[in-house]
Chain A
């Protein structure tokens, strides 16, 4: 489909999708609106770069992703500590004094099959929204958007790879737990 130089038409066709994409990552309506605006304006200026090989939606999301990373890189400098002793206490509470699971994970079955399950994906999306800000961003940029370690350190202003691994672990463990609580699927304990 050929792109038309009409940002108002883009707004009608893709505005909600762009906004939802931004909100999943920044969870701030004003910031998300600004990002959508920047994206559509940038798209207007970059129309020559659109080769029509990807869909208009994919092209706009690609621009939005860049705008988002720029925004996060600027905001990252004002962030709070990456890891706290509270987080460590939350982690340790999952295990008893012998180091065994206090509440053992269930058998969800084959990962490749379960990943296609709509219920699981909905539970995952809902649980992502409930993660603390930094953990949510880190998980989404890593697992949904596919940023690599260097890009994550730079974008989020995380001080070391070690901190990044710890934060990612906490996000994943929290998500897993939230999904077991909210999703009826999965197998036996």
Chain B
């Protein structure tokens, strides 16, 4: 029987890490008996779903180009276009 530490290692590395048959059985048994590890597993699913396509401006104050940076970029783009 695996403990919560081991079950969490398996839950947190899914779905990338393939489980052996033994690991799969151990994890299933552990989850059947352990609500916190079931919550953890569902939290992992929630994180995965929330992260997909998460926009960079989901934070309250997303970083923006400062005026000086914007001007530098504008200059370089102008120069590049004049070259073409």
Which size class do A's interface residues fall under?
35 or more
Instruction: Judge whether B36 is part of the interface by a CB distance below 8 angstroms.
Output: yes
Instruction: Judge whether A60 is part of the interface by a CB distance below 8 angstroms.
Output: no
Closest to A188 in B: B39
Known interface pairs A104-B39, A108-B39, A108-B46; A99-B59 also in contact (CB < 8 Å): no
Contact A7 B52 (CB under 8 A): no
Q: Beta-carbon contacts of A132-149 to B below 8 Å, as 1s and 0s? A: 000000011011101001
Contact A115 B50 (CB under 8 A): yes
Stretch of A48-56, A70-78, A162-170 with 4 or more beta carbons under 8 angstroms from chain B: A162-170
**What total of A-B pairs shows CB separation below 8 Å?**
161
Closest to B76 in A: A37
Closest to B3 in A: A99
Q: How would you classify the secondary structure of chain B's contact residues: helix, strand, loop or mixed? A: helix
Closest to B50 in A: A115
Instruction: Judge whether A172 is part of the interface by a CB distance below 8 angstroms.
Output: yes
Contacts of A173 in B (CB 8 A): 8, 12
Contact B13 A165 (CB under 8 A): yes
- Footprint of B on A, CB under 8 Å? 7-8, 11, 15-17, 19-21, 23-24, 29, 32-33, 36-37, 40-41, 44, 91-92, 94-95, 98-101, 104-108, 110-112, 114-117, 120-122, 124-126, 128-129, 139-140, 142-144, 146, 149, 161, 164-166, 168-170, 172-173, 175-176, 179
- Footprint of A on B, CB under 8 Å? 3-6, 8-9, 12-13, 16-17, 35-37, 39-40, 42-54, 56-60, 62-66, 69-70, 72-74, 76-78, 80-81, 84
